Amino acid sequence: MTEAKPKRRIRLSLTMILSGVIVLLAAALAGVLIFLKNQPPQQRGVAPVVEIAPMEPDSAQWGKNFPNQYATFLLTQTNNTRTAFGGSDKISKLEADPRLLTLFAGYPFSKEYNEERGHMNALADVQSIARVNETTHATCYSCKSSNNPGLWDQMGMLAYDTLMFSDMTPQLDNSIGCANCHEAGTMRLIVTNPALDEALKAQGKDWRTFTRQEMRTVVCANCHVEYYFKGDEKYLVFPWANGTRIENISQYYADLKFRDWVYPYVKDYKGTTDHPEYDAIKMQHPEYEMFTADSTHYLAGVACADCHMPYTRDGAAKFSTHNVQSPLLNAETACGVCHTDVAYVTGRVSVIQNQVYDTLIAAEEALVDAIGSIQAAMGATNVDTALLDEARLLHREAQLRWDFVAAENSMGFHNPEEALRILAEATDLARQAQLKAVQATGDAGILTTGGR
Ligand code: HEC
Ligand code: HEC
Ligand code: HEC
Ligand code: HEC
């Protein structure tokens, strides 16, 4: 009896030491893999064929020196394969999910909203979208063209953004290109969008001090982020001054009393004066914020480029593929460098995405119900306007959280825990909004007027 005890303790601590060693080994292995994977490709000892001018907008010029990167980059124009929740087929999100017509009612996103495509199509796609009209500013071009770095340098971003979209159109003859991510000559990755430089500065960060591995993520944040247009100039700003989590961003907009549009249900509402802080905000593709919110891959030191621009071989040459697309279409190279069982991890993507999708739809239904009840309450007599305003505020907060996940393009894969956390909160807030609307009228009959 008395002998067994210490033995067990020894076995216990042996197990603990062993698990400790295993954890350390696994961490070391992950580190080594990432290190090995991120070694720069061997430079071929050839002098540049042509000298590339600073901020050269024409990618074909750069392509003379770097034919492999250029050739793979061109493929982004013709990619058209669809995946379960992504891919490059320009399908209509509104047709796929008519609830969006209610959620974006009164806003151009209810006119046309499509699945995104490859980088070479960015300029053509923004020019053909029904959301652009005569009041649209040039700011909308910020993430679409390799002419931008040169133009921002010449005229400054304020003057650029103040111009109208149609005035800028003749000045742009290139879609996204090399100059959006690289410095000519050194070819190092750089921040080219002044809004990103300013947003990092506001957080006390300077990208010039970042490591190369960090830049393999930050370079995508030139565009794959949430943003808004500030003031009459429509100056491009990333709302990160409080941090990049959805709670920080929503607080930032609340303090600013910012709105993108007024919900139609408020239009005939005479209860209170103009309250921009209760109105709607559209979230835009926050891939960077979602991924860096302590996702498993981010914490393990993995970068956007690891999955979306994996190293590829062509004969003796090893280079980063510039055919940026869904990594599910080339999972062997995109995931296979770090994961031995590619079928297993892509299977996990499917499980994660389906779970996030189901949770996302539950949040949407709660939102449609909230809108239905608030709308009904607005038309009712004897409404408690203070309670109704609370309902509107809850709806706004619910919707911008839902949209943070919906507008993020990985259907939760970039950070499953964060996506599910935010959606749970969105659903809760939407149901609270609905109940507040009922309370405001004292009429439980409006509870079911929502969209189901
Ligand atoms: C660990 C690998 C991995 C990392 C790191 C990663 N992604 Fe992704 N990304 C994916 C996968 C998988 C998908 C889902 C593709 C699909 O559904 O077809 C995806 C989807 C996307 C999409 C939508 C693609 C489509 O086909 O619709 C975009 C845009 C995107 N990622 C950008 C980024 C950015 C920007 C970063 C860094 C901030 C990043 N990704 C980091 C794996 C990754
Ligand atoms: C969306 C951003 C982006 C665009 C656009 C882009 N690159 Fe890159 N490029 C990268 C990233 C990320 C890397 C990896 C850099 C690293 O690992 O330090 C890279 C690496 C390179 C390298 C270093 C060798 C290699 O293959 O890793 C060369 C050369 C290069 N790119 C050329 C080009 C050329 C030419 C163009 C235009 C046709 C271009 N790039 C467009 C992001 C971009
Ligand atoms: C200059 C702005 C800009 C930069 C920088 C940029 N992107 Fe994009 N990206 C876009 C735009 C705009 C689209 C959508 C184009 C369209 O739909 O026509 C897009 C589309 C994508 C897609 C979808 C492609 C498809 O076929 O569906 C992926 C994936 C993606 N980007 C990943 C990245 C990654 C990873 C980086 C960093 C290495 C990056 N992007 C850097 C602007 C940018
Ligand atoms: C640069 C290395 C690297 C690449 C590329 C990479 N991963 Fe990972 N992945 C990791 C590391 C490190 C972890 C952390 C868990 C671990 O230690 O095994 C991880 C974990 C995961 C997990 C488990 C996540 C969790 O929360 O438990 C999944 C699923 C996964 N990866 C899928 C993918 C897919 C799909 C791709 C390709 C699109 C991919 N990974 C590309 C390094 C990578």
Which of 145, 182, 189, 314 for a ligand 2 pocket mutation test, highest count of atoms within 8 Å of Cβ? 182
Q: Does 335 contact ligand 4 (Cβ within 6 A)?
A: yes
The predicted structure's pLDDT at residue 3: 44
209-234 burial: b if 16+ Cβ within 10 Å, else e: ebeebebbbbbbbbbbbbbbbbeebb
Cα-to-centroid distance, 121 and ligand 3 (Å)? 10
Q: Residue 99 — φ and ψ, nearest 5°?
A: -55, -30
Helices (H), 257-384: 287-292, 296-299, 304-308, 331-334, 342-379
Q: Which residue CA neighbors atom 28 of ligand 1 most closely? A: 409
The predicted structure's pLDDT at residue 33: 63
Does 401 have pLDDT greater than 60?
yes
Q: Which residue CA neighbors atom 42 of ligand 2 most closely? A: 181
Residues with Cβ within 8 Å of 297's Cβ and at least 6 positions away in sequence, in order, are: 291, 307, 414
pLDDT band for position 31 (cuts 50, 70, 90): low
Ligand nearest to the CA of 311: 2
User: Of 15-29, 98-112, 150-164, 417-431, which gets the smallest average pLDDT?
Assistant: 15-29
Q: Which atom of ligand 4 is nearest to the CA of 306?
A: 5
Q: Does 73 contact ligand 2 (Cβ within 6 A)?
A: yes
DSSP state, residue 137: B
Q: What is the mean pLDDT of residues 2-20?
A: 57
CA 148, CA 76: separation in Å to the nearest integer?
Answer: 20
Does 4 have pLDDT greater than 50?
no
Residues with Cβ within 8 Å of 80's Cβ and at least 6 positions away in sequence, in order, are: 87, 88, 89, 117
Q: Which residue CA neighbors atom 30 of ligand 2 most closely? A: 69
The predicted structure's pLDDT at residue 162: 97
Q: Does 201 contact ligand 4 (Cβ within 6 A)?
A: no
Q: Taking Cα atoms as reference points, which of 248, 285, 275, 224 lies closest to residue 386?
A: 275
Q: Does 309 contact ligand 4 (Cβ within 6 A)?
A: no
Q: Which atom of ligand 1 is nearest to the CA of 291?
A: 38
The predicted structure's pLDDT at residue 268: 60
Ligand nearest to the CA of 212: 2
Read off the pLDDT of residues 59-93 as tens digits, 9 standing for 90 and up: 999 999 999 999 999 999 999 999 999 999 999 99
Tell me the pLDDT of the chain averaged across its residues.
90
pLDDT band for position 297 (cuts 50, 70, 90): very high
Q: Which residue CA neighbors atom 3 of ligand 4 most closely? A: 338
Q: What is the mean pLDDT of residues 209-215?
A: 98
Ligand 1 contacts (CB < 6 A) are: 83, 85-87, 116, 217, 220, 224, 287-288, 291, 297, 302, 304, 306-308, 326-328, 349, 409-411, 413-414
The predicted structure's pLDDT at residue 206: 98
Would the CA dihedral through 451, 412, 144, 157 be positive or negative? positive
Residues 241 and 204 sit within 8 Å (Cβ to Cβ): no
Q: Does 309 contact ligand 2 (Cβ within 6 A)?
A: yes
The predicted structure's pLDDT at residue 272: 57
Cα-to-centroid distance, 414 and ligand 1 (Å)? 6
Q: Does 305 contact ligand 3 (Cβ within 6 A)?
A: yes
Does 153 have pLDDT greater than 80?
yes
Tell me the two tokens of residue 190.
């750089």
Read off the pLDDT of residues 88-142 as tens digits, 9 standing for 90 and up: 999 999 999 999 999 999 898 989 999 999 999 999 999 999 899 889 999 999 9
Q: Taking Cα atoms as reference points, which of 115, 423, 398, 421 lies closest to residue 263?
A: 398
328 vs 34 pLDDT, higher one: 328
Q: Does 190 contact ligand 2 (Cβ within 6 A)?
A: no
Q: What is the mean pLDDT of residues 241-251?
A: 97
| Cα distances (angstroms) measured from residue 372 to each of 70, 260, 280, 377, 441 | 51, 21, 15, 9, 13
Grouping H, G, I as helix, E, B as strand and the rest as coil, residue 236 is strand
Q: What is the mean pLDDT of residues 383-400?
A: 94
50 vs 21 pLDDT, higher one: 50
| Cα distances (angstroms) measured from residue 34 to each of 37, 277, 302, 338 | 5, 44, 7, 7
Q: What is the mean pLDDT of residues 367-385?
A: 90
Which of 215, 287, 329, 350 for a ligand 1 pocket mutation test, highest count of atoms within 8 Å of Cβ? 287
Residue 228 pairs with which residues in a beta bridge? Answer: 237
CA 107, CA 130: separation in Å to the nearest integer?
Answer: 12
The predicted structure's pLDDT at residue 150: 98
Which of 50, 65, 66 for a ligand 2 pocket mutation test, highest count of atoms within 8 Å of Cβ? 66
The predicted structure's pLDDT at residue 124: 95
Q: Which atom of ligand 4 is nearest to the CA of 30?
A: 12
Ligand nearest to the CA of 26: 4
**pTM here?**
0.92
Read off the pLDDT of residues 252-288 as tens digits, 9 standing for 90 and up: 999 999 999 888 877 666 555 577 888 899 999 999 9
Q: How many other C-beta atoms are found inside a 10 Å radius of the C-beta of residue 2? A: 5
Does 339 have pLDDT greater than 90?
yes
Which of 180, 223, 322, 330 for a ligand 3 pocket mutation test, highest count of atoms within 8 Å of Cβ? 223
